[in-house]
Structure 1
Amino acid sequence: MDTTLVNALREQLQRETGQPVALVETHISWVLLTRTQAFKLKKPVSLPFLDFGSVEARKHFCEEELRLNRRFAPSLYIDVAPVCGTRESPRIGGAGTVIDHVVRMLRFPDSSLLRNLLVEDRLQPALLDGFAQRLAALHVAAEQATPVSGFGSPDSIVRAATDVLAALRAQGDDSRLATLAALDTWIREQGQVLRMAWIARQQGGSIRECHGDLHTANVVLVDGALMPFDCIEFDPALRWIDVMSDLAFLTVDLKAHGRDDLAFRFLDAWMQHSGDYPGLQVWRFYEVYRALVRAMATGLGPRPPDGEARPDYLACATRLTTQPEEGARLMITHGLSGSGKSSVALQLLCAAGAVRVRSDVERKRLYGLDPLARSVALGLDIYSAQATRQTFERLRACARDALLAGYPVIVDAAFLRGAERRSFEALAAEFRVPFTILDCRATPATLRRRVAERDAAGTDASEAGLAVLERQFEWQDPLEADERALAIEVSTEDTVDIALVAARWRAATASR
Structure 2
Amino acid sequence: MLSWINRLAELHRLPEWSGEPLIQTHISAVLLGRDRVLKLKKPVNFGFLDYTTPEKRLAACRAEVELNSRLSPDVYLGVETLGEGETLDYGVLMKRLRAERMLDELVRRDEVTEAMIRNIAKVLASFHDHARRGPEVDRYGQLAGIEENWRENFQQTEGPAWTDVAPRERALIRPWVQRELEQHAAQFEARVAGGHIVDGHGDLRCESINVAERIHIFDCIEFNERFRCGDTASEVAFLAMDLDARGRPDLGYYFVEEYLRQRPDDGLLQLQPFYRCYRAFVRGKVAGFRLAEAEFSDDEKRAARSEAVHYFDVARRYADRLRDQTVIVVAGLSGCGKTAIARAIAGELGLRVISTDGVRRDLYGEAKAPAGFGEGVYGREQSEQTYRTLLERAGAALRHTGGVVV
The answer to whether TM tops 0.5 is yes
Q: Is the 2:170–2:316 contact (alpha carbons within 8 Å) kept by the matching residues of 1? A: no
The answer to whether structure 1 residue 413 and structure 2 residue 369 are counterparts is: no
- Residue 31 of structure 2 aligns with which residue? 32
In structure 1, distance between residues paired with 2:67 and 2:193? 24
Q: How much has 1:450 moved relative to structure 2?
A: 4.8
In structure 2, distance between residues paired with 1:167 and 1:262? 31
In structure 1, distance between residues paired with 2:81 and 2:282? 32
SS at match of 1:46: coil
The answer to whether structure 1 residue 214 and structure 2 residue 204 are counterparts is: yes
Match of 1:280 among 248, 269, 276: 269
In structure 2, relative to structure 1, the CA distance for the partners of 1:305 and 1:329 (3 Å cut) is same
Match of 1:479 among 372, 384, 405: 384
Q: How much has 1:12 moved relative to structure 2?
A: 4.1
In structure 2, relative to structure 1, the CA distance for the partners of 1:328 and 1:74 (3 Å cut) is farther
Q: Is the 2:12–2:82 contact (alpha carbons within 8 Å) kept by the matching residues of 1? A: no
In structure 2, distance between residues paired with 1:10 and 1:208? 37
Q: How much has 1:70 moved relative to structure 2?
A: 0.8
The answer to whether structure 1 residue 43 and structure 2 residue 42 are counterparts is: yes
TM-score by length of 2: 0.80
In structure 2, distance between residues paired with 1:196 and 1:164? 23
Identity of aligned residues (%): 26
Cα RMSD, aligned residues only: 3.6
In structure 1, distance between residues paired with 2:362 and 2:311? 44
Equivalent residue letter for 1:186: W
Equivalences for residues 14-33 of structure 1 within 5 A: 16-17=15-16, 19-33=18-32
Deviates more, 1:233-242 or 1:175-184: 175-184
Structure 2 alignment gaps of length 5 or more: 291-295, 392-403
Name the structure, 1 or 2, with higher relative contact order (CA <8 Å, separation 6+): 2
- Residue 162 of structure 2 aligns with which residue? 173
- Residue 369 of structure 2 aligns with which residue? 449
Equivalent residue letter for 2:316: T
- Residue 385 of structure 1 aligns with which residue? none
Match of 2:181 among 163, 170, 191: 191
Match of 1:182 among 147, 167, 172: 172
In structure 2, relative to structure 1, the CA distance for the partners of 1:147 and 1:198 (3 Å cut) is farther
- Residue 102 of structure 1 aligns with which residue? 91
Q: How much has 1:474 moved relative to structure 2?
A: 10
Q: Is the 1:327–1:406 contact (alpha carbons within 8 Å) kept by the matching residues of 2? A: no
Equivalent residue letter for 2:384: L
Higher strand share: 1
Q: How much has 1:5 moved relative to structure 2?
A: 3.3
- Residue 312 of structure 2 aligns with which residue? 314
In structure 1, distance between residues paired with 2:139 and 2:218? 26
In structure 2, distance between residues paired with 1:416 and 1:266? 19
Larger radius of gyration: 1
- Residue 271 of structure 1 aligns with which residue? 260
The answer to whether structure 1 residue 248 and structure 2 residue 237 are counterparts is: yes
Equivalences for residues 92-131 of structure 1 within 5 A: 96-131=85-120
Equivalent residue letter for 1:319: R
Deviates more, 1:311-320 or 1:161-170: 161-170
Q: Is the 1:169–1:177 contact (alpha carbons within 8 Å) kept by the matching residues of 2? A: no
In structure 2, relative to structure 1, the CA distance for the partners of 1:171 and 1:228 (3 Å cut) is farther
Q: Is the 1:264–1:354 contact (alpha carbons within 8 Å) kept by the matching residues of 2? A: yes
How many residues align structurally?
Answer: 372
In structure 2, distance between residues paired with 1:100 and 1:162? 34
Q: Is the 2:137–2:198 contact (alpha carbons within 8 Å) kept by the matching residues of 1? A: no
- Residue 282 of structure 2 aligns with which residue? 293
